[in-house]
Every structure is written in C-alpha cells, then in structure tokens.
Structure 1
Amino acid sequence: MPTTKPAPSAREQELLERAYEYSLGHGLADLSLRPLATAIGSSPRVLLFLFGSKDGLIRALLARARNDELDLLRQIDSQYDEPPGLTVVARELWTWLAAPERRPLMAFWVEAYGRSLVVPDGPWADYGRSTVEDWLELLKASEPDAAEARRTGVLAMLRGALIDLLATGDLNRTTAAVEAYLKE
C-alpha cells in the first residue's frame, strides 16, 4: 500500500513560506542551507528534518512556486462562464506576468525552468514540462477550438517576451511586441 506524506505542520508551512520569500530574492542556483536558515530564523538541522534533504526543500519550493502559477490559472478560468478566447487570456496572462511585483517570482520561474532543462534529474525533474502542460491546458480551455500550434505559439511568445522583459526591464517594448503578435 503506497504511503502518503502527512500534511505539513504549521511550522513546516511557516518555514516554507519564509524560504520561498528568501528564494524569490536570492534564487535557487547557489542555495546554501546555512544562510537560508539564518535568514528565515531556523537552523539547517530543522530544515533537513522537515524537508528530508536540500533537494527535498528545493522540491517543496518549486511546488510552492507552481502553486502560485496554478492559482493564477484558476483565477483566470473562474472569471468566465464561457471560454473567453485565446487573445483575451493571453492579454490577462501578460498583464499578470509583467507586473512589477511578480518580477521575483518570474525570475525564480526562469531559473527553475532552465535548471530543469540542464539538470533534468533531482529536484528539478519535470518542472519545465509540467509548467508547459499547465499553461497549455489553460490556453486550451480559453479557446477549445484553437489549433494546438496556435496555443503553443502564444505560450512561446509570452515566455519569450517575459524573458526579454526580465533581461531588459523594457515593459513598453515587450508589451508592444505581445500586442503586435496577438493582432496577427
């Protein structure tokens, strides 16, 4: 019989939230438990006890970031009684992705996505693929009759514009590019 992990304790949830906030500002690439633990008011031993290993903590942080993305997808989906169309949802996604308060989350996403491509094993496993599937599912729900190639193109355009925005900070240019693509 498969065993399931018990629900996280309040302390585990609290430390995960603090570690998540820390990771949004510092990234995951060079994550070291000692500075993280100090910054969030814990110890490396407590983090290892709660998350099993550094990889376990990274998996929990990636799951936490993915939950933020899935919450967005659910919010957009719940706003409409009928599918709103690919262009409407793409614009809403861009507005959400490009918001200044989300830059740390988006930089975190880019880092995790890239690591899942370069280091496909360990805590990064399937992160990139699963986020592609999540977002393509939302785009499909927004316009079920849209061709898969069109949905994939919209997703690729949004992600490319996001990476460009994160690299340059040029919101006007990247938003103009998104709008030009969506008018085609």
Structure 2
Amino acid sequence: MFEETTFASARKIELLEAAYRYSLAHGLADLSLRPLAAAIGSSPRVLMFLFGNKDGLLRELLERARIDELAMLDHIQEPSNTTAIGLAAAIERLWAWLATDEHRQLLRLWAEAYTRSLIEPDGVWGGFAATTVSDWLAVLAACQPPRERDSEKGAARRTLALAILRGALLDLLATEDHDRVTAAVYHQLALFHHRRAAVPRP
C-alpha cells in the first residue's frame, strides 16, 4: 500500500510538471483533459484519479505558477544584504526579470489567470488576482526601509510601484514593444530616485 501511494504521488508530481509546461505553451482557459493527457503521455482517467477533476488540476496548476512567481520575487532582495534595497532598485530588478523574453510564457499565463480571476471571482480562478497583489506588495514592502514601510506614504509608494510594473507588463505582453515600455519604466524609476513628494490623502 505504501509503495502504491508513493508511486501515485511521484506520478502526480511528474504529470503536474508536464501539465504545467503544456499550460505555459497553450494557456489554461480552454484546457481540455483529452488533448492535455495525450500531449503529456497520460490519459483523462489517470488525470481524474490523481487530481479529482479538471478544476482540481487547474487549482494545482495555478499554485504551481504561483511557486514560480514567488521564486522570482524571492531573488529581488539578496539574502546576504540586510539593508533594504529601496523601491527604485526593486522596480529596476523586477523589470529586468519581467522584460526578459524567456519569461514571456509564464507572464502570459499569469495575465490570463489574473484576468479570469476578476471575471470569475467565485470559480476555480477566484482569489488569484488578490493573492498575487498581496504577494508582490509583500516583496516590495520588504525592499523599503522600516520607517517608510510602516507609513501610509510607504504603502502608497509600493502600491504605485506595483501599478507601474503591472501596467508596463501588460503593455509589453500586448505590444512586444520592449524599448518603448522599458523607457517608460525608467522614466518613472527616475522619479522614485529623485522625488519623494507627499501623497495626498483620499
């Protein structure tokens, strides 16, 4: 029994990774078990057994994408550096990663899941958008000096940083105009470097 459970667990991990690679190339919105199973060397019956149903598989694929996202965010602040790098450096490092061609598939998958989460807030996609906002804000907060991090202005500044990155990313995914979008990011980056204007209260 133990060997069967171990085998099933190992097979599930193997198929999840294969399904994740497939979803990076083909997206998640129109995912169908039959073509997916054929592409990754399995069968719909096996996928149903291991993941329960299509929604169960989608949930695990979304969590798998989040693991990649968090791994990327984890490298923004070097573990050996105990001094907060600041929002300007965080924006620069994040954009350098986001704008790289090799990450385009993951980011398209992220954009698809983000959008579906807004359209179908009660379905399998529900909560993905809010969770990813929280994840990114937490990383940006860790890059701020404590005094700034714990202030209302600091919260507004990291929210603005996230808005800049997210807007630029969606523009880049839509147009592939790397130079124009990067120039806009660096224009805003200069403002983070040189201006700390008060944020008006709503």
TM-score range relative to shorter protein: over 0.9
CA RMSD of aligned residues (A): 1.5
Within the alignment, does 1:72 sit opposite 2:79 as a pair?
no
What is the rounded CA distance, in whole Å, between the counterparts of 1:125 and 1:166 in structure 2?
23
Tell me which structure has the larger Cα radius of gyration.
Answer: 2
Q: Which amino acid aligns with 1:67?
A: I
Residue 97 of structure 2 is matched in structure 1 by: 96
Name the CA distance, whole Å, in 1 between partners of 2:34 and 2:91.
41
Aligned to 1:37: 37
Matched, 1:159 2:166: yes
**Residue aligning to 2:121:** 120
- The one-letter code of the counterpart of 1:28 is L
Q: Which residue of 2 aligns with 1:55?
A: 55
1:133 is displaced (CA, Å) by 0.2
5+ residue gaps in structure 1?
1-5
Fraction of identical pairs, as percent: 58
Q: Displacement of 1:78 after TM fit?
A: 3.5
Shift >6 Å, 4+ stretches: none
Normalised by the length of structure 2, the TM-score is 0.85
- State the secondary structure of the residue aligned to 2:42: coil
Mapping for residues 18-37 of structure 1, pairs under 5 Å: 18-37=18-37
- In 1: Cα distance, 2:43 partner to 2:186 partner: 47
TM-score under structure 1 length normalisation: 0.93
Instruction: Verify: 1:181 aligned to 2:188, yes or no.
Output: yes
Q: Distance in 1 between matches of 2:32 and 2:69?
A: 25
Give the Cα–Cα distance (whole angstroms) in 2 for the partners of residues 95 and 10 of structure 1.
35
Unmatched segments (≥5 aa) in structure 2: 192-202
- Counterparts of 1:64 and 1:139, CA distance in 2: 22
Whole-Å Cα distance in 2 between the matches of residues 116 and 129 of structure 1?
A: 9
Give the CA deviation at 1:77. Answer: 2.8
Q: How many residues align?
A: 179
In the TM superposition, what are the counterparts of 1:104-115 in structure 2 within 5 Å?
104-115=105-116
Q: Which residue identity does 1:54 align to in structure 2?
A: K
Name the amino acid aligned to 1:124. W
**1:11 matched residue in structure 2:** 11
Match of 2:83 in 1: 82
Q: Which amino acid aligns with 1:37?
A: A
Q: CA deviation at 1:57?
A: 0.4
Q: After TM superposition, give the deviation of residue 76 of structure 1 in Å.
A: 2.0
